[in-house]
A and B are shown apart, each in its own frame.
Chain A
């Protein structure tokens, strides 16, 4: 009841202040006149009556003031007054305001962008109901454990390996025996599959899921239904697929009759039964959005995989290959530890039931871990880099805050007279403190708003840095409530913490001395010390950021120039994945040979080759390598291994890798002839010291030995990362492999470079099989650039931070020197009147600035050395304490500082002694 009337008066007092004022005035006027009339009726003269009526009512302003207090809107009036005053003050010195808001905007903007990226990469949860209930099943086993073959994520450490992959038979038994979780479902990201709809061929990401996946996750498709248990029966029983919202939009125009349509997945007809809700990323990660979800029952049909294990055939029956990911929801009332212990028992039983367990072999131990973010593959690689970046961004914000504090302090000094006047007129210290805080908070909030705007503009910068030229961004940054809250909190904290000291200082002026115009300005003041300490701090922070930037930029440059061992220019790459459904086993070999021949015939093409694993893609495979004359260890995991790649006919000439001894592959090496290989120099040195390896053999194969003859030795070339020195590697012809290859990346060497030839290459591929999509088109140089993604991100971001730091530091130095010079005008005037040369004055100011820089650089060096421990492992080709970088950064800062103090120094040198002294 009264709340409504209160709101009504507040509303009027705040937004209808003028109308309300008029009402009060009118009411008071009526009162005065009525009273005066009554007095006149008693015989008083009109003038006297009016005077008395007015006097008894008191001042109208006081009544109004009391009325506003009664309405409880005094705080609002004060705030409005403070704000209006603050805005006026800020508008009066636009340079100060722009610098303060600008530096805060850069600091808060940088932090918001990094925080947004970090939030997405590390904290995003799966888009399903109650993700916090999800538990991902992990296991760990010692080095001699029973699991030997795995397809999926694993982490090796000294005491064994940790992984999330299970064999399908183990999953089935675990699910059956499970009493502790509310059902266990299985899934597996299956990568890109070839899809044909409306005669268009394209690739689409996929996830294979168990029949209880949708029901346990609690995800309801926006159209149609999810994958159900009835789809996941015997092999081939569920040719159905649920598509993503994205695919529905891009390929089907969001048409509702998409349900029931048949599409070709790897050339196998599948019926669309549902469309996922938008933003559903599957269970594997909270980023990306797989386009196709299909049941496990279709794996042998749609995506046959042959690992050549003991149970050759479907990996659904394979008892040795561990590859499916398992997840479950906690049951209410069952603690995680209990569930884990019970499931561990179930796992042991399942392993013993499905695999031969040797006497001394260890069975994996089960662990339940938070599954709310899925497997979250990003977290592993990005957690540390992200925290380093967030730390550096924090330093930039600190630097911006120091700038704000410095500017406010300097301004506080300049406004001493104003404060003295206000205090003399009776303003309370608390009132002045409040006014000052209003100003700094307003500045901080404006800076925060500008920072958010900046962050919004560049929000996709980090995701774009994280994606390569030929794949879509890993995620698109959304500005969400936590991020808005983060920016708001950062700006308010900044305003309060860094506004408090200057505000406090402002209230401590001595009224008597503050009002005197002259005095004290002749001598140096202690007050300058606070500002100088801040500048030293700023220089130290800048030194730190510039050194870090220097280290990362040089790392990137050194990586870019690092010798690869092969020539990477004018090489166009694209990937072909012959679907196993059309080209089973070695049927892919004639296809690839035909493709090689057709592509080589395209005009403008110099040479063509292919590799199973593209070079510098971050991937590699390795095989057992037992050199001729050494013994095979009965434990297969104890045998030495080297990297291996299956390559095409003209591999060595296309990539410019020299043959140092023997020969490359030639027409004599056929699918049926003796198996041959070319080893690289490192392999030759390691396994055949002081021997000529050509003509010798080695034995490979994890379980079943296979002998290969070495026909040549080639130069060392980097294989999977630019950062890693070439390792022992051998190359074998893809047409001699037992099971063919499922993926081939063609490398086409062209005279013209770039992608100019791409259309004719596509025609050539289509002329062989028009249902083969040309995937991931890029140049070899782009492939290398993608591999340098993380160092490039670091070089870009830290480089940006370094520039920002220099800018902020120069603003700080300029500000403090200009302030100091203006305070010391009379001192300088006296010096010059006494005969000091302008050059001497110039030097005096510059040397003062230099001292600040030297102190700051020294402190910064200490900080940078400490930080070096953290980032040492991320560098390449130089140490974290690289003396040249440190010296360069110090010199750069000194240069910037001298440049920034040059203008104030010139001003000091140009002081006219007569004017300066007369000013007193």
Chain B
């Protein structure tokens, strides 16, 4: 069942997963699985995230001090590790968002250029 390119799940660009995770936890503390669900929900299932790469990303962000992990209780009363954005993470997210917008803007402009008509 082949669909139009825009409709299929998009492979993530290198390095964008970090940004998405930061954004996801900026909306409220989430456990790892919750981050996955949140991203899929916001993107309306258009983004395919390799589950195996999610946790290394979480640990990397925690290592950098942008998110902080803490044990808590999940919706179904189980022990889970919740991540929330730190102040440093918020600054990072803002910077990354700005950069991404500029990048998307430039790339968009270039891609939308049409041949000049004579």
Which residues of A come within 8 Å of B, CB atoms?
A: 1-2, 4-6, 9, 23-24, 26-28, 30-31, 33-35, 37, 56-59, 62-63, 66-67, 69-72
How far, in angstroms, from A27 to B64 measured CA to CA in the complex?
A: 19
**B75 closest partner in A (C-beta):** A34
**B52 closest partner in A (C-beta):** A58
Let me know if B55 and A28 touch, CB within 8 A: yes
Let me know if A31 and B51 touch, CB within 8 A: yes
Residues of chain A within 8 A of B81, CB atoms compared: 23, 26-27, 30
How far, in angstroms, from A27 to B60 measured CA to CA in the complex?
A: 15
Residue B88 lies at the interface, judged by CB distance under 8 Å to chain A: yes
How far, in angstroms, from A796 to B57 measured CA to CA in the complex?
A: 66
How far, in angstroms, from A59 to B57 measured CA to CA in the complex?
A: 16
Contact of A71 among B50, B52, B59 (CB under 8 A): B59
Nearest CB of B to A771, in Å: 78
How far, in angstroms, from A63 to B54 measured CA to CA in the complex?
A: 9
Residue B19 lies at the interface, judged by CB distance under 8 Å to chain A: no
Let me know if B64 and A67 touch, CB within 8 A: no
Nearest CB of A to B84, in Å: 14
Residue B78 lies at the interface, judged by CB distance under 8 Å to chain A: yes
Contacting A at CB under 8 A, from B47-97, are 50-53, 55-57, 59-60, 62-66, 74, 76, 78-81, 88
Residue B33 lies at the interface, judged by CB distance under 8 Å to chain A: yes
Let me know if B74 and A69 touch, CB within 8 A: no
Residues of chain A within 8 A of B55, CB atoms compared: 24, 27-28, 31, 63, 66-67
21 example contacts (A-B, Cβ-Cβ < 8 A) are as follows A1-B88, A2-B64, A2-B88, A4-B65, A5-B62, A26-B79, A28-B55, A30-B78, A30-B79, A31-B32, A31-B36, A33-B78, A34-B74, A56-B51, A56-B52, A63-B56, A66-B56, A67-B55, A70-B57, A70-B59, A72-B63
Residues of chain B within 8 A of A30, CB atoms compared: 31-33, 74, 78-81
How far, in angstroms, from A449 to B39 measured CA to CA in the complex?
A: 56
Let me know if A69 and B56 touch, CB within 8 A: yes
Knowing A63-B55, A67-B55, say if A31 contacts B63 (CB, 8 Å). no
Knowing A1-B88, A30-B31, A30-B33, say if A66 contacts B53 (CB, 8 Å). yes
How far, in angstroms, from A63 to B59 measured CA to CA in the complex?
A: 10
- Contacts between the two chains (Cβ within 8 Å), count: 77
**A63 closest partner in B (C-beta):** B55
Residue of A27, A37, A56 with most chain B CB atoms under a 10 A cut-off:
A27
Let me know if B64 and A5 touch, CB within 8 A: yes
Residues of chain B within 8 A of A72, CB atoms compared: 63
Residues of chain B within 8 A of A59, CB atoms compared: 52
Residues of chain B within 8 A of A57, CB atoms compared: 51-52
Let me know if B52 and A2 touch, CB within 8 A: no
Let me know if B53 and A31 touch, CB within 8 A: no
Nearest CB of B to A630, in Å: 97
Instruction: Determine chain B's interface SS by DSSP, over half rule.
Output: helix
How far, in angstroms, from A23 to B71 measured CA to CA in the complex?
A: 10
Nearest CB of B to A67, in Å: 4
Residues of chain A within 8 A of B56, CB atoms compared: 63, 66-67, 69-70
Let me know if A6 and B65 touch, CB within 8 A: yes
Instruction: Determine chain A's interface SS by DSSP, over half rule.
Output: helix
Residues of chain A within 8 A of B63, CB atoms compared: 5-6, 9, 70-72
Let me know if A62 and B33 touch, CB within 8 A: no
Residues of chain B within 8 A of A2, CB atoms compared: 64-66, 88
Residues of chain A within 8 A of B80, CB atoms compared: 27, 30
How far, in angstroms, from A876 to B88 measured CA to CA in the complex?
A: 78
Nearest CB of B to A571, in Å: 80
Residue of B33, B60, B80 with most chain A CB atoms under a 10 A cut-off:
B33
How far, in angstroms, from A27 to B79 measured CA to CA in the complex?
A: 9
Nearest CB of A to B74, in Å: 7
How far, in angstroms, from A66 to B32 measured CA to CA in the complex?
A: 16
How far, in angstroms, from A893 to B59 measured CA to CA in the complex?
A: 63
Nearest CB of A to B88, in Å: 5
Nearest CB of A to B71, in Å: 9
Residues of chain A within 8 A of B74, CB atoms compared: 30, 34
How far, in angstroms, from A58 to B53 measured CA to CA in the complex?
A: 9
How far, in angstroms, from A28 to B63 measured CA to CA in the complex?
A: 18
Contact of A63 among B52, B64, B78 (CB under 8 A): B52
How far, in angstroms, from A26 to B56 measured CA to CA in the complex?
A: 15
Contact of B59 among A33, A37, A58, A67 (CB under 8 A): A67
Nearest CB of B to A745, in Å: 78
**Beta-carbon contacts of B91-115 to A below 8 Å, as 1s and 0s?**
0000000000000000000000000
Contact of B65 among A1, A23, A63, A67 (CB under 8 A): A1
Let me know if B62 and A62 touch, CB within 8 A: no
Let me know if A31 and B65 touch, CB within 8 A: no
Apart from the given pairs A27-B55, A57-B51, 20 other A-B contacts in the complex at a CB distance below 8 Å: A1-B65, A2-B64, A4-B65, A6-B64, A6-B65, A23-B81, A27-B32, A30-B33, A30-B74, A30-B79, A30-B81, A34-B33, A34-B76, A63-B52, A66-B52, A66-B56, A70-B56, A70-B57, A70-B60, A70-B63
How far, in angstroms, from A24 to B65 measured CA to CA in the complex?
A: 18
Residues of chain B within 8 A of A63, CB atoms compared: 52, 55-56
**A32 closest partner in B (C-beta):** B33
Nearest CB of B to A62, in Å: 7
**A57 closest partner in B (C-beta):** B51
How far, in angstroms, from A59 to B52 measured CA to CA in the complex?
A: 8
**A23 closest partner in B (C-beta):** B81
Nearest CB of A to B38, in Å: 13
Residues of chain B within 8 A of A62, CB atoms compared: 52
How far, in angstroms, from A37 to B37 measured CA to CA in the complex?
A: 13
Residues of chain B within 8 A of A33, CB atoms compared: 78
**A1 closest partner in B (C-beta):** B88
Residues of chain B within 8 A of A71, CB atoms compared: 59-60, 63
**B35 closest partner in A (C-beta):** A31
Residues of chain A within 8 A of B60, CB atoms compared: 70-71
How far, in angstroms, from A72 to B59 measured CA to CA in the complex?
A: 11
Nearest CB of A to B99, in Å: 18
Contact of A5 among B50, B51, B53, B65 (CB under 8 A): B65
How far, in angstroms, from A33 to B65 measured CA to CA in the complex?
A: 28
How far, in angstroms, from A23 to B33 measured CA to CA in the complex?
A: 15
How far, in angstroms, from A6 to B60 measured CA to CA in the complex?
A: 10
How far, in angstroms, from A72 to B53 measured CA to CA in the complex?
A: 16
Nearest CB of A to B22, in Å: 14
Nearest CB of B to A834, in Å: 64
How far, in angstroms, from A5 to B53 measured CA to CA in the complex?
A: 21
Nearest CB of A to B92, in Å: 9
How far, in angstroms, from A97 to B36 measured CA to CA in the complex?
A: 53
**A58 closest partner in B (C-beta):** B52
Residues of chain A within 8 A of B50, CB atoms compared: 58
